[in-house]
């Protein structure tokens, strides 16, 4: 089951479970679409794979299977 991570690992922007611009790779690395396009150019910095739009969990299932609250980050992505 997807963790539904709460933030972009690049810019730390909040990505709630219903975010339409949350992108994930096959290992669930989570980034906002702005970081994927502008900084990462479509390739995950952790595994080298591509990204897909993260699916939105139905509200009824979100109650039973809540999103993760553990924030993750990769500050080196924003380094000059």
Residue 74 lies in a domain: no
Residue 73 lies in a domain: no
Task: Give the domain extent around 28.
Answer: 1-67
Residue 51 lies in a domain: yes
- Smallest CA-to-CA distance from 74 within 5, 8, 4 is with 8
Q: Domains in the chain: how many in total?
A: 1
Q: How does pLDDT run across 30-62, given as a tens digit for each residue? A: 999 999 999 999 999 999 999 999 999 999 999
Which tokens sit at 54?
A: 């993260």
Q: Distance (Å, rounded) from C-alpha 8 to C-alpha 56?
A: 16
CATH code for position 34: 3.30.40
Residue 74 is predicted with a pLDDT of 76
Residue 38 lies in a domain: yes
Which tokens sit at 30?
A: 């989570």
Residue 4 lies in a domain: yes
What are the residues facing 7 on neighbouring strands?
14
Residue 16 lies in a domain: yes
Residue 79 is predicted with a pLDDT of 57
């Amino acid at each position: 089951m997807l963790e539904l991570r709460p933030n972009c690992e690049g810019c730390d922007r909040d990505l709630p479970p219903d975010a339409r611009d949350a992108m994930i790779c096959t290992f669930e690395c989570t980034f906002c679409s702005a970081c994927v396009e502008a900084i990462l150019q479509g390739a995950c910095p952790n595994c080298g794979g591509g990204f897909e739009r993260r699916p939105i969990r139905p509200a009824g299932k979100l109650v039973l299977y809540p999103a993760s609250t553990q924030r993750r980050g990769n500050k080196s992505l924003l380094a000059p």
